Amino acid sequence: MHDLRTFLDTVRRERPRDIIDISRPVSPKHETAAILTKLEQSYRFPILFFHNVAGSPFPVVTNVCGSIARLALALGCSVGELSRVYATRCAQPIKPVITNTAPVQELVLTGQEVNLESFPRFVYHEDDASQPYITAAIVVARDPETAKSNLSFHRLMIVDRSTTAIFMARGKHLDQIYRKYESVSEPMPIAAFLGVYPACSLGALYTGSACTEEYDIIGGLRQSALSLAKCVTNSLHVPADAEFVLEGSVPPRTRVNEGPFGEFTGYSTGSMSCPLFKVQAVTSRQDPIFQDIVSGHSEHLLLPILGMEHHLLEAARTAVPTTVNVRLLVPLTAYVALEKKDDSQPQRVIEALWGSDIYAKQVIVVDADVDISDLRQVATAVALHVRPDRDVYINRPTLGTELDPSCESSDGTTAKLGIDATVPLASTRRVVKNRVPKHVLDSINLSELLQTA
Ligand SMILES: Cc1cc2nc3c(=O)[nH]c(=O)nc-3n(C[C@H](O)[C@H](O)[C@H](O)COP(=O)(O)O)c2cc1C
Ligand SMILES: [Mn+2]
């Protein structure tokens, strides 16, 4: 079994300090976010299990995927192996299987029985909208042309007992699918599920072709087929062992004011106009656990990294096969290490990454001897090796993200930046990094030296 509960049990067994049970009543308005913030300020990133959230009967877990050690635990590998294991398993997808017995359908509420206002009413930041959000929802939809299913996370702002707003970033797969339904004035059937094993969250964040079904990737990550159940009110499928499912549809051409909402960038950027999600049914376990992700905090930042780094590395290697690695350490920025064979390669990587993802706004390319996990080394390479009149690339306005505070257009249009901070191969000056000769370095026996000194 690979569900949220088995993962919490594994964490209690293997990393007991990684989970904190909080039994006293807490407010969902600012207080849970404040507890998480205080812990993060002291470099602690545990799962928080709130057993008593004011105004809601449901216990809540948050920060399930808030540490890299827990992601490694979930995939059964070491932290150092995570990227390689993610890549290997994504390359071996496993199709899901359909089951008729779904724990997530033990309770079924439809029509008038649906009441999203019984959910915990989470508000995180001071300047966020006062309406509560569901943040850990993974949305499944089916492309009407290809019949492929798609998974992605979407923040859902609760509007009333049976309605939420749904934010779909422009250009991502769900937005593309919604446009197809909207163009023929049809509602888009969706289901949003929450309360899952981390492999499910990581698989939903796989970034790649619309033809790749994320359910197959989740199977690959788990190394076993995911069990799916057919929804009660539509023909979509959801993980049978999730905690909650919201079934319904997004009607065409309805919009509501949504936000402001503090995002992964660390900023909110005003309110937006978002489509509505009309909820027809809520199914759950008998005693469901509500999963939450505090927006803009460690879990939100960490979760998408594996999928995005994997995707950008593939895109960079398609352009230049000797790309060594890609790291994403700050929002909207990709650092790329290149074993450069000719001086045109950095530009080719920059252009490939610009086009590969709306979130790849800045692309900084360095030589392979720069450690791209170390911001100081990257900043030094930019300071020393860049001649701004030659090595800086700016592309024409293109699709980025409206969540970018510098983006002034609600359609996400922005310019993108590329910096080639590699040392020119054909330089007229010989530029060599300081190095003490390795054989001399190896010959020094420090403990012997310190004893005699
Ligand atoms: C916690 C969390 C919340 C997210 N919220 C949204 C959201 O509200 N809207 C959105 O478009 N993407 C959101 N994302 C990002 C998408 O899930 C991500 O871009 C996904 O890979 C897109 O899937 P696709 O490649 O199938 O389009 C969120 C990601 C995380 C981890
Ligand atoms: Mn997709």
Q: What CA–CA distance (Å, rounded) separates 227 from 80?
A: 30
Residue 365: phi and psi, rounded to 5, are: -105, 130
Provide the sign of the torsion angle of the four alpha carbons 178, 180, 181, 185, taken in this order: positive
pLDDT at 59: 98
Closest ligand to 262 CA?
Answer: 1
Helices 68-75, 82-90: inter-axial angle, 10-degree rounding:
40
pLDDT at 452: 66
Residue 194: phi and psi, rounded to 5, are: -145, 155
Residue nearest to atom 28 of ligand 1 (CA): 153
The ligand 1 atom nearest the CA atom of 173: 27
Q: What CA–CA distance (Å, rounded) separates 73 from 197?
A: 11
Residue 248: phi and psi, rounded to 5, are: 170, -150
Q: 34 alpha carbon to ligand 2 midpoint, in Å?
A: 33
Closest ligand to 169 CA?
Answer: 1
Q: Is the CB of 154 under 6 A from ligand 1?
A: yes
The CA dihedral of 401, 406, 408, 410, to the nearest 10 degrees, is 20
Q: Which two tokens stand for residue 219?
A: 């199977």
Paired with 384 in beta bridges are none
Give Cα 84 distance to the centre of its chain. Answer: 18
Residue nearest to atom 3 of ligand 1 (CA): 153
The ligand 1 atom nearest the CA atom of 156: 8
Q: What CA–CA distance (Å, rounded) separates 384 from 415?
A: 25
Closest ligand to 216 CA?
Answer: 2
Q: Is the CB of 295 under 6 A from ligand 1?
A: no
Q: Which two tokens stand for residue 276?
A: 């509505």
Q: What CA–CA distance (Å, rounded) separates 261 from 133?
A: 9
Q: Is the CB of 300 under 6 A from ligand 1?
A: yes
pTM for the complete prediction?
0.96
pLDDT at 432: 86
Q: For residue 84, with 0-12 CB atoms within 10 Å meaning exposed, 13-18 middle and 19 or more buried, which class applies?
A: exposed
Sheet holding 392-394, edge to edge: 323-327, 333-338, 362-367, 417-420, 392-394
Q: Is the CB of 167 under 6 A from ligand 1?
A: yes
Whether 194 and 168 have beta carbons less than 8 Å apart is answered as no
Q: 248 alpha carbon to ligand 1 midpoint, in Å?
A: 19
The ligand 1 atom nearest the CA atom of 176: 27
Paired with 23 in beta bridges are none
Q: 324 alpha carbon to ligand 1 midpoint, in Å?
A: 27
Query: pLDDT means per 10 residues in the chain (453 residues)?
Result: 95 98 98 98 98 98 98 98 98 98 98 97 97 98 98 98 98 98 98 98 97 98 98 98 98 97 96 97 98 97 98 98 98 98 97 97 97 98 97 94 91 95 88 93 94 71
pLDDT at 295: 98
The residue to mutate among 138, 142, 152, 332, having the most atoms of ligand 1 within 8 angstroms of its beta carbon, is: 152
Q: For residue 2, with 0-12 CB atoms within 10 Å meaning exposed, 13-18 middle and 19 or more buried, which class applies?
A: buried
Closest ligand to 259 CA?
Answer: 1
Among 366, 375, 364, residue whose Cα is nearest residue 339: 366
Residue nearest to atom 5 of ligand 1 (CA): 154
C-alpha gyration radius of the chain: 24
